[in-house]
Structure 1
Amino acid sequence: MAFGEDTFLFLRQLSENNNRDWFNEHKDEYEACVREPAFSFIEAVAPNLEKLSPHFMAKASNMGGSLMRVYRDVRFSKNKTPYKTNIGIQFRHEQGKDVHAPGFYVHIEPSRVFIGVGKWSPHADGLKMIRQHIDTFPQSWLDAKSDEKFLKHFKLSGESLKRAPKGYPLDHPMIEELKRKDFIAIADIPPELVLEEDFADIVMGYFELGAPYVKELCRAVRVPF
């Protein structure tokens, strides 16, 4: 089962009716329009992702799987709407327990679809390891992040420090990379591609372009690729 126009329709309706009563009344539609096609997509990606690297999980399951929860964590947010109005699918590293692990990501909403690769908001220890890696192996890092084919489709994104991180001089030749707090790259794609039967193959093409960048991050935090 592939994603269809009904997937986008449901997400639009959820955006307009983001409350528990409406969602509970339309839970069958969520299952049919979001969860089931998402699981089919994950299963379609799995064999080719394993060929790319056996260390990233493509798991179609309700608990601990690649499909991210529809429920928002509103504990520390001013926005108290209970549901996410996008589909988030993360193929994270087997040694990672959350979204802060190196991984591959697909974001689907009616107005925007993008492919993400890298490591978002690494914890303090991971951030320290990445910075040490950039400092020690600057050319290897530059080769991974500056590949021509990679940059043709992906744009490096995320937050950065305004000042040099502790322990590094402001005139360090890699200072802009060392100032990064996120190590992610984003490729926006036309939303209509989600509706194609070969959407999983399209996504894998982007994952392959981003693989050297993810591989370098895995090397930095000392996990296998």
Structure 2
Amino acid sequence: MRQTGEDLFWELVEPMYADPAVRRSTMMGMACVRLGGRFFASLERSTGALLVKLPAERVAALVAAGQGEPFAPAGRVFREWVALPRPDRPRWRALLEEARKHAGGQEHTGGFAGFGRDGLEFLAGLEHDNTKRFFDAHHDVYRRELLEPAKAFVAAIGPVLRRRVSAELRAEPRVGGSLFRIANDLRFARDRPPYKAHVDFAFWEGTGGPRRDPALILRIAPAEVHLGAGAIGLTGAALESYRTALHDTGRIVALDRQVTALLADGAELSEPNRRRTPAGFDPTAPAAQYAVRDSFHITRRLPQPAEITSCTFVEWCVERFAPFAPVQQWMTEVMATTDQRQAD
């Protein structure tokens, strides 16, 4: 039997009662839910449409994009309410959470409403069947539930990262910017699978781009989320600056203190590039574990959180990026030395 809008509404609202501030009530004769006395969602019984309260500009954007309809009982338009007439579990769940967050006065996250559950299931399917046939058959799901939300996610998290981590961090919502291609380049590695069964993001600082400059990094895998910081293998003047920094006792002590704390909290260092410590480094000194890596990434793997399907995933990521910010800043300072040398 097809699930009705009313059944889906109460099913999605039920977990919200874990917050004692969320209560069932009535509004204009319709059942609704409140947060601390503030209405944030209701159900239009005559049509079965979900009604959520959001900022007026957000409502206007949803209506303009064809993702919602104006709520206008008796011809009067309520600018802060939007109607979603067709039951859609991922969409309704995301907008209910966004409305609850708005009612609580939390930061608005633009057009990002979470990643679709179908998109996350697509990644799991791609991991199992990494073929062009599978990808082509699910291409619409990939674009709708992963790629487009990924662009919205980058646009939403960028301002927050610049405000709370570094004003110079760059977040570009495009493939080749903060987003990486899902297809692997098989020209020089034909043994690799055709596609990556994950979505990668980078938020970088510098003029060289996300594949050269130090960055905060994020990966959404089928069952996990990886967050961290680092830089891709350095070469030339950049590698020289990195190794020079490793000879600076003050700098290496600061870096090692940060990395040690992250490792103790469950993070992992990327694999070494070299089997032996380069000449000029004491193999027993703290700098040795960095010298065998031509730069490095340090990341932490976490189970996919429930927040991933809602706008609250932005805040979830920002909070977990925070411990990695000092590493990203350390590398950024090192790369600034490179830029200065090249300018001279």
What's the TM-score bracket when you normalise by the shorter of the two chains? Answer: 0.7 to 0.9
- Structure 2 letter corresponding to 1:201: E
Q: Specify the SS of the correspondent of 1:146.
A: helix
- Residue in structure 2 matching 1:18, options 115, 124, 130: 130
Partner of residue 3, structure 1: 115
Q: Specify the SS of the correspondent of 1:3.
A: coil
Partner of residue 205, structure 1: 319
User: Is 2:248 the counterpart of 1:114?
Assistant: no
**Residues 74-128 of structure 1: per-residue CA shift (max 9 Å, x gap):** 1222424321111111112241234232101111111332102011322243222
- Structure 2 letter corresponding to 1:166: A
Higher relative contact order (CA 8 A, sep 6+): 1
Distance 1:20 1:69 in 2: 15
How far did 1:40 drift?
Answer: 1.9
Bigger Cα displacement from structure 2, 104-113 vs 153-162: 153-162
- Residue in structure 2 matching 1:54, options 162, 167, 174: 167
Cα distance 1:29–1:131, how it changes in 2: closer, same or farther (>3 A)? same
Cα distance 1:4–1:221, how it changes in 2: closer, same or farther (>3 A)? same
User: Is contact 1:141–1:216 with CA below 8 Å preserved after alignment?
Assistant: no
Q: Specify the SS of the correspondent of 1:66.
A: coil
Partner of residue 304, structure 2: 191
- Structure 1 letter corresponding to 2:276: R
User: Is 2:253 the counterpart of 1:139?
Assistant: no
Cα distance 1:173–1:201, how it changes in 2: closer, same or farther (>3 A)? closer
How far did 1:11 drift?
Answer: 0.8
How far did 1:43 drift?
Answer: 1.6
Bigger Cα displacement from structure 2, 46-55 vs 73-82: 73-82
How far did 1:141 drift?
Answer: 2.8
User: Is contact 1:56–1:91 with CA below 8 Å preserved after alignment?
Assistant: yes
User: Is contact 2:177–2:210 with CA below 8 Å preserved after alignment?
Assistant: no
How far did 1:49 drift?
Answer: 1.3
- Residue in structure 2 matching 1:128, options 229, 232, 240: 240
After TM superposition, the structure 1 = structure 2 runs for residues 85-100 of structure 1, keeping only pairs within 5 Å, are 85-100=197-212
Equivalences, count: 222
After TM superposition, the structure 1 = structure 2 runs for residues 162-177 of structure 1, keeping only pairs within 5 Å, are 162-170=275-283, 174-177=287-290
User: Is contact 2:120–2:146 with CA below 8 Å preserved after alignment?
Assistant: no
Distance 1:25 1:176 in 2: 45
Distance 1:155 1:98 in 2: 21
How far did 1:154 drift?
Answer: 5.5
Q: Specify the SS of the correspondent of 2:151.
A: helix
User: Is contact 2:202–2:210 with CA below 8 Å preserved after alignment?
Assistant: no
Bigger Cα displacement from structure 2, 76-85 vs 203-212: 76-85
- Structure 2 letter corresponding to 1:178: A
Cα distance 1:112–1:59, how it changes in 2: closer, same or farther (>3 A)? same
Partner of residue 77, structure 1: 189
Using the aligned pairs only, state the percent identity. Answer: 24
Cα distance 1:11–1:140, how it changes in 2: closer, same or farther (>3 A)? same
Q: Which runs of 5+ in 2 are unaligned?
A: 1-112, 340-344
Partner of residue 100, structure 2: none
Distance 1:174 1:195 in 2: 41
Q: Specify the SS of the correspondent of 2:336.
A: coil
User: Is contact 1:100–1:123 with CA below 8 Å preserved after alignment?
Assistant: no
Bigger Cα displacement from structure 2, 159-168 vs 23-32: 159-168
Distance 2:160 2:293 in 1: 31
Q: Specify the SS of the correspondent of 1:88.
A: strand
- Structure 2 letter corresponding to 1:221: M
> What is the TM-score normalised by the length of structure 1?
0.86
User: Is contact 2:234–2:294 with CA below 8 Å preserved after alignment?
Assistant: yes
- Structure 1 letter corresponding to 2:245: H
Q: Specify the SS of the correspondent of 2:141.
A: helix
How far did 1:204 drift?
Answer: 1.0
User: Is 2:328 the counterpart of 1:214?
Assistant: yes
- Structure 2 letter corresponding to 1:108: I
Q: Specify the SS of the correspondent of 2:233.
A: coil
User: Is contact 2:116–2:146 with CA below 8 Å preserved after alignment?
Assistant: no
